[in-house]
Homo-oligomer: A and B are copies of this chain.
């Protein structure tokens, strides 16, 4: 008989939240391979983190391991999924159906468990009305209506930089509080709205910085004054 040990601690550190999806992915892989139980050490290796960190992370959701044995894979998958809110279905709208928006709409692995692309919206009359990934592209004028009608709660911004702030404000005006922004701008939003940013250009620049350090190393004085 096991006492389920409820998730007492309601304040999960941000750094932990960011790693839970990693653990979840590793666990799904293990479940598929028929692994029933896993130690913190093995799971940590699979997720590419330190095992002490993993144990501390999991301890924030409750005491779901068994000392001397490890964690039950299925059970842990369920607990993490529940914690992340993946046991419910999230309707996602993608605004901006250019190359990137199209890629996102079609990217099967990305919109997988728990997420569903519920709407595609664009301003270009050329693409409005097209069917992409089985969805009709709707006009930006309909933005607010579409979001309400489809119960969208997460919006993905794949618009040009100039349009992002305005779209952002419009979706917030109809109650959206979670935004994933691919446009290369700093969005300004009221408190209570979460924005996460994916910026390809920034990632490249960070790589370039380190690459330069490696290449130039201690020598290299090409044109530095």
What residues of chain A have their CB less than 8 Å away from a CB belonging to chain B?
A: 4, 6, 17-18, 20-22, 24-26, 46-48, 82-88, 90, 92, 98-100, 102-104, 106-107, 109-112, 114-115, 153-154, 161, 177-180, 184, 186, 188, 192, 194, 196, 198-212, 214-215, 223-225
Contacts and interface: CB of A to CB of B under 8 A. Distances in A.
Contact of A201 (B4, B109, B205): B109
Contacts of A90: 204, 208, 211
B17 A206 contact: yes
A192 B206 CA distance: 15
A21 B194 contact: no
A222 to B, nearest CB: 8
Contacts of A92: 204
Given A114-B208, A202-B18, A177 B214 contact: yes
Given A86-B205, A90-B211, A179-B207, 12 more contacts: A25-B184, A84-B208, A87-B223, A110-B184, A112-B201, A114-B208, A115-B204, A154-B211, A177-B214, A196-B206, A198-B198, A198-B203
B206 A21 contact: yes
A206 B17 CA distance: 7
Contact of A22 (B88, B153, B186): B186
Given A100-B103, A204-B154, A206-B18, A178 B211 contact: yes
Contacts of A17: 206, 209-210
A96 B106 CA distance: 15
A135 to B, nearest CB: 15
A178 B215 CA distance: 11
29 contacts: A4-B225, A17-B206, A21-B199, A21-B202, A21-B205, A21-B206, A48-B186, A83-B209, A84-B205, A85-B211, A86-B205, A87-B223, A90-B204, A90-B208, A90-B211, A92-B204, A98-B103, A99-B102, A99-B106, A104-B200, A110-B200, A111-B204, A154-B208, A177-B214, A178-B210, A192-B214, A194-B207, A198-B198, A198-B200
Contacts of A206: 17-18, 21, 196
